[in-house]
Structure 1
Amino acid sequence: MGYVHEIKFFKDQKSQKLMIALFDIPPLFCAEFWLKNIEASQYNISSLPTGLKLDKKYSVKELGIQPFLDSDKPDLSSIFQKNKTPVVDEIVRLFKEQVNYNSQNAGLLISQRDVANHFHITISDTHCFNFGGNGFGVFSIPQNAEILSTVKLLNRQHVLDRCLIAYELFQDWDYGLLGWNCEHFSRLVTTGVAVSYQVKESPLAWLNHNGYHPLAQEMMDQAVKIK
């Protein structure tokens, strides 16, 4: 039993019924905390709500729902009306609110030392953008963050443009400490290379393309060409 903080709509492969996967807030170093799957009809939802996508996680709060116990069965039909205005992507909204293309401090790669190094991308004098164990976020630059001044970066315009391109590409990818982490993402956006040196230096690097992520690299390179 737990509190539902995230949901994901999907279709059952056999019955083709609309289902909802329920998730709690994941503990440290975990990509997700799955609670259970339930038929959408149990919440009086008969079809995929307008503006939402299958197989994509949504925070219940961004949908206007208060967290609830997975054992409860609240009536959500009034929230998910067919004619309701599509949900505005909260990450995109926050990014556009805070980004400053004229800031000399935007487009930098920064790291924050905790149990491990966390990597972020500055988007203004005050805010940064990142991908981590809890998904994507736009937040104030941590006080203990350090600029990686020896790294060769793409120009500021390209870095900031690439932030949302990468978000669109990878928003449904799960975080993995060795497979796909904040360093892979941040270095791909800021330098053009999807590599994690923390993984590269680990004993298990050989299991993870020696720290590189060739698929993410290929997808990003292709998307930038199209843009």
Structure 2
Amino acid sequence: MPLSSEQIENVINEIDCLADPSSQRYGYLLNWQNPFDPFWHYGIGLSDTHIFDTGRGLCPFERKEAKFVIGIDPIAFEPKQTIERLKYALCVFGSWEYTVPGWNCEHLGRLIATDQPRCYQSQFIWWLCDMTPEGEHKTAHQVFRNYLAVVAPNLNR
């Protein structure tokens, strides 16, 4: 369900309230698995206790167990920039329809943290989901870059 402008504003306020820059997880791309669920879920760390769900929820939630996504350090944004990109991403993608293979938490989480809207989990069926062979969403990167160019050019690469 798309987020209204008021809902986006409320979620951004929640992010500001829960964000703890002293946390090791603050501004980092995290992933986790739920029991009996074969899929990895992705989000942006806000604090030692809270993660922003870049999936269906598009909201912060409490979870202490999560892993840092490995292999992205050279391309990841600084934590403070990632949190700012998260807030702007809500304005852009709050109305996008979530689909497991086509536009999901991994696409959005990686776009926010690394500027690559990639999903390795659905990469093997890329042609069914209108993605590139690398598993990247075809339009999300440019849509986000165009938006940031107007509102916060310093958050683009």
Q: Deviations over 1:203-224 (max 9, x none)?
A: x212332321121100111222
CA-based RMSD of the aligned residues comes to 2.1
Q: Deviations over 1:144-193 (max 9, x none)?
A: x2111322211112101100010110101110011100000000001110
Q: TM-score, normalised by structure 2?
A: 0.80
Q: Check whether the contact 2:25–2:47 (CA below 8 A) recurs between aligned residues.
A: yes
> Which runs of structure 2 are paired with 1:64-103 in the superposition (5 Å)?
87=6, 89-103=9-23
Say if 2:62 is the partner of 1:140. Answer: yes
Q: Does 1:184 align with 2:104?
A: no
- Poorly superposed stretches of 4+, deviation over 4 Å: none
**174 and 154 in structure 1: CA distance in 2 versus 1, 3 angstrom threshold:** same
Q: CA deviation at 1:98?
A: 0.7
Once the two structures are superposed, the pairs formed by residues 1-227 of structure 1 within 5 Å of their partners are: 56-57=2-3, 87=6, 89-114=9-34, 115=37, 116-133=39-56, 135-143=57-65, 145-152=66-73, 153-200=76-123, 202=124, 204-207=125-128, 208-209=130-131, 210=133, 211-226=135-150, 227=152
Taking a change above 3 Å as real, the CA distance of residues 168 and 57 of structure 1, as seen in their structure-2 partners, is closer
Rounded Cα–Cα distance in structure 2 between residues aligned with 1:162 and 1:99? 14
How many residues are aligned here? 142
What is the CA–CA distance in structure 2 between the aligned matches of 1:57 and 1:225, rounded to whole Å?
A: 23
1:27-53 Cα distance to aligned partner (Å, 9 max, x none): xxxxx6xxxxxxxxxxxxxxxxxxxxx
Answer with 1 or 2: which has the greater Rg: 1
Q: Which runs of no fewer than 5 residues in structure 1 stay unpaired?
A: 1-31, 33-55, 59-85
Q: Percent identity?
A: 25
Q: Counting strand residues as a fraction of each chain, which structure ranks higher?
A: 1
TM-score, structure 1 as length reference = 0.57
More helix by share: 2
